[in-house]
A and B are shown apart, each in its own frame.
Chain A
Amino acid sequence: MRFTYLIKRFGIFLLIVWLASSVNFFLPRFGGQDPMRAHLLEQAMLGGYVQAGLEEMVQEYNAKFGLDKPLWQQYLNYLGDVVRLDFNYSVSNYPRTVASMLADALPWTIGLLLTTTLLAFAIGTMLGAILGWPGAPHWLRFALPPLMALNAIPFFLLGLILIYLVTTRFPFFPLFGGYSPGTLLSATFDSVLDVLRHAILPATSIVLVAIGGWALGMRAMMVTTQGEDYTIFADAKGLRPFTIFLRYSVRNALLPQATALALVLGHIASGAVLVEVIFGYPGIGTVLYNAIRQSDYFLIQGIVFGVIVSLGFATFILDLIYPLLDPRITYRRG
């Protein structure tokens, strides 16, 4: 792996972190609102009368929070806070900090996303490889329309249907939450089983939908590889069909599948947020939903930043893995 490639990829990751924090900083300021005045006015209205000296209070608070300084100085302060992972307090869960709430929620989301993405990728790719092979049993072609339909719908739509099925027909799985209420999470067998049982419904709705996309992509690539000269040559050499399938078609079709992984991460994460909301899964999505309901702006900002940076990091890791799969990448993109 060339050193410049690594530096460049890491540079892009840093750029994403910087862009995400800048968007967080500038978006509310371009909104043209004066948060302190708005907040104090709101409180004064709740009290039923407008206090004298509101102007002085606004100035006092602005000075306290550094909002009276010039914009560039506020910006530098903000970037400093971001580097120290200080995203302020959560307004609706005071005195908890946004960073601590993120730290609680992120493992749930990462666990759910990592398992479901890898599962869907593995199952979907295998299914697609078989579907795209001329020697596959004929009846397998009937799997194609349902795969296409599943691939088209959003994750949470399937989740809603699963909720219905579980409430009415198959009440085997818990509908809500990440673990049974009132239990303490520990490393015991029962506790792990409980967490897994709670993860089954959200995971199923992500995996079933995501399988379709991987299978369709793999199938198309399999068809393409079969038209390539090297496959025809392998066939002419008299290699066994299974060898051609595995070593020639599947192996080459896998590469674009793996590179597509980096492209769909954002899409999967956006979809998983909604799945968490409908199942009340204790990850980022549910925290975000509650934060929006309570207009907890700092928390929302922290979550958006956290998700963008985590995905940027995941992309960075994938970018480091790709040259191992295909050495041409480092040369082509430098």
Chain B
Amino acid sequence: MTEQTVVAVAPRRDAGVWTDRTFSIGRYLRRNPTLMVGLLLLLALLLFVVIGSFMVDVERARPLSARALQPPGGTLPFGSDKQGRDLFAVMVAGTPLTLRIGLIAGIIGTLLGATLAFFSAYYGGTVDTLIRGIVDIGLTVPGLMVLILIAMNLRGGLDINQMALIVASLAWLFPARTIRSQVLTIKERGYVQIARLSGVGGPEIIVKELLPNLLPYMVASLIGSVSSAILASIGLAVLGLGPTESPDLGMTLYWVLYNAAIINGWWWWWVPPIVAIAVLFIGLFLVTVGLDEIANPRLRRQV
């Protein structure tokens, strides 16, 4: 199932842009509007959190901080929910928590996946067959289902970090697969062969020859993992398996659904988390597409 898709993808060139010293970020961004819009969206979200944290005490994200179900106005710019959380404080405190889950799980997943991919693809043999088999089978399994089972067994006061670790337990599969197929195409290149003939050892070739060439690709893969980790954590939270006390975006949505806020017309309760989640996912997606363009210059010329 792996190979036929890989065969169809155009062969990737080396990432010239990143080694080019005269490359100016500003000028490049203008030529790559996808990346720019993506970065701007994420930046806007970060700015909201940073500015917001100066304006409001995040302790007010706890229940009973304000009168319940107040529409926006006065001291409550985003209103309050049924349990008396100040929703502005919830958004300011919750957005970074969601980002944190994504970053922890995404970084662990990509590092683990990349390590496995490099060794598996470079050395080949039984280990490679085994890893490829596990990854191929693991990817046909709907991740959310396995995460639900794990979360059920660890239930009882999950915190944000445990949530991130649960999500990370499956986050390495996809990076392992995509990076492995990239290593396979690159390891037969001339410069790798020359290094091998010169007697350079395997680990050194991986670190000095393969890694730098795949770096832009790995960054794109990291952003993709962060995005799917956040998606998984929100999914778990909406199903009621999230960290109950936490004001992160997934749990906020859980309370929105639990109290049927949309049908009851409490728009101020559900609009901010939905907008934040949409901005987050669209931003991350555009950045991945934009980075793909760096990693694969053929796309840039043709599209």
Q: Chain B interface mostly helix, strand, loop or mixed?
A: helix
Is A304 touching B145 in the complex (CB atoms < 8 A)? yes
Q: List the A side residues contacting B282 at CB < 8 Å.
A: 148-149, 152-153
Given A167-B262, A266-B140, A270-B145; A153-B278 close (CB under 8 Å): yes
| Complex Cα spacing A326 to B239, Å | 40
Is B1 touching A278 in the complex (CB atoms < 8 A)? no
Given A152-B282, A157-B277, A163-B262; A292-B4 close (CB under 8 Å): no
Which of A30, A157, A265, A301 is close to B140, meaning CB atoms less than 8 Å apart? Answer: A265
Contact with A along B58-102 (1 / 0, CB 8 A): 000000000000000000000000000000000000000000000
**Closest residue on chain A to residue B153 by CB atoms:** A31
Is A308 touching B137 in the complex (CB atoms < 8 A)? no
Asked if B163 is at the interface (CB within 8 A of a chain A CB), the reply is no
Asked if A248 is at the interface (CB within 8 A of a chain B CB), the reply is no
Q: List the B side residues contacting A27 at CB < 8 Å.
A: 149-150, 153
Given A259-B1, A322-B4; A266-B148 close (CB under 8 Å): no
Is B4 touching A266 in the complex (CB atoms < 8 A)? no
Asked if B125 is at the interface (CB within 8 A of a chain A CB), the reply is no
Is B3 touching A333 in the complex (CB atoms < 8 A)? yes
Given A19-B137, A31-B154, A332-B3; A273-B149 close (CB under 8 Å): no
Which of B152, B267, B270, B277 is close to A292, meaning CB atoms less than 8 Å apart? Answer: B152
**Closest residue on chain B to residue A9 by CB atoms:** B1
Q: Chain A interface mostly helix, strand, loop or mixed?
A: helix
| Complex Cα spacing A97 to B57, Å | 50
List the one stretch of A56-64, A99-107, A221-229, A235-243 in contact with chain B. Answer: A221-229
Is A308 touching B142 in the complex (CB atoms < 8 A)? yes
| Complex Cα spacing A16 to B145, Å | 14
Contacts of B257-282 to chain A: CB distance below 8 A: 257, 262-263, 265, 267, 270, 274, 277-278, 281-282
**Closest residue on chain A to residue B234 by CB atoms:** A154
6 nearest A-B pairs in the assembled complex, by CB-CB distance: A152-B285, A270-B144, A256-B8, A266-B142, A31-B153, A152-B282
